Amino acid sequence: MPDDDRVDRKKPLVTVIPFGQTPVIAAKVIAAHISGYLNMDAETLPSMPIPPDALDGERLQYNAARIIETLEAADMTNAFKIVALFDVDLFIPLFTHVFGEARQNGRVAAISLYRLSIHADGSCPPSDRILERAAKIALHEMGHLLNLLHCADPLCLMNFSDTVDNLDQTPFNFCRYCRRSLHRALASP
């Protein structure tokens, strides 16, 4: 889409970027969910290389905080928010792994398909289940980017899910309190 069209946008633009070998369809599914659930414009960009300094040689995982810092420093002025999608294992020092990571009211979220692609018993789910999980994580992380905290309601997308089983049981829904906070955040981006 030409830059001239962006000048007239009334909705903030979310840019979804697949990194490395991440399937582009996953980025498109996430962009569609952001557009549909949050009523925001969302675009996908072509795949980019994973920032090489994000790999932690001792853990053999990628540091999500470092990725976020790198992308926050990148020149992507058209994007109100950025969702970076990976197929590698992400971590932050506090946890063994993360499905996704974003700073509250930040600009960049990092999401990994790596652990979403495996059931708790080690088997592989169908691709539509992986995409559903990725979309839930993306909406959760977008909530953080729009200043929401974790929610105690287990039926809200802002509830913390530490396992894929928990994530699978979470419906595509924000509770009324989180939905109200999202509306306020989106009314004044």
- Asked whether residue 3 is assigned to any structural domain, the reply reads no
Residue type, 76: M
- Asked whether residue 73 is assigned to any structural domain, the reply reads yes
Domain coverage including residue 27: 13-187
List the structure tokens of 177: 């309190």
Catalytic-role residue among 43, 101, 132, 141: 141
- Asked whether residue 8 is assigned to any structural domain, the reply reads no
How far CA 23 is from CA of 6, 45, 116, 120, 160, in Å, comes to: 26, 12, 13, 22, 25
- Asked whether residue 6 is assigned to any structural domain, the reply reads no
CATH code (residue 145) = 3.40.390.10
- Asked whether residue 53 is assigned to any structural domain, the reply reads yes
Residue-wise pLDDT for 92-110, tens only, equals: 998 999 999 999 999 999 9
Q: In which residue are the tokens 């294992």 written?
A: 89
- Asked whether residue 55 is assigned to any structural domain, the reply reads yes
Per DSSP bridges, beta strands 61-63 and 81-86 are: unpaired
List the structure tokens of 119: 């059931």
Q: Is 141 a catalytic residue?
A: yes
Residue-wise pLDDT for 26-85, tens only, equals: 999 999 999 999 999 999 999 999 999 999 999 999 999 999 999 999 887 788 999 999
Query: How many domains are contained in the chain?
Result: 1
The pTM assigned to this predicted structure is 0.92
List the structure tokens of 173: 């829904």
- Asked whether residue 105 is assigned to any structural domain, the reply reads yes
- Asked whether residue 1 is assigned to any structural domain, the reply reads no
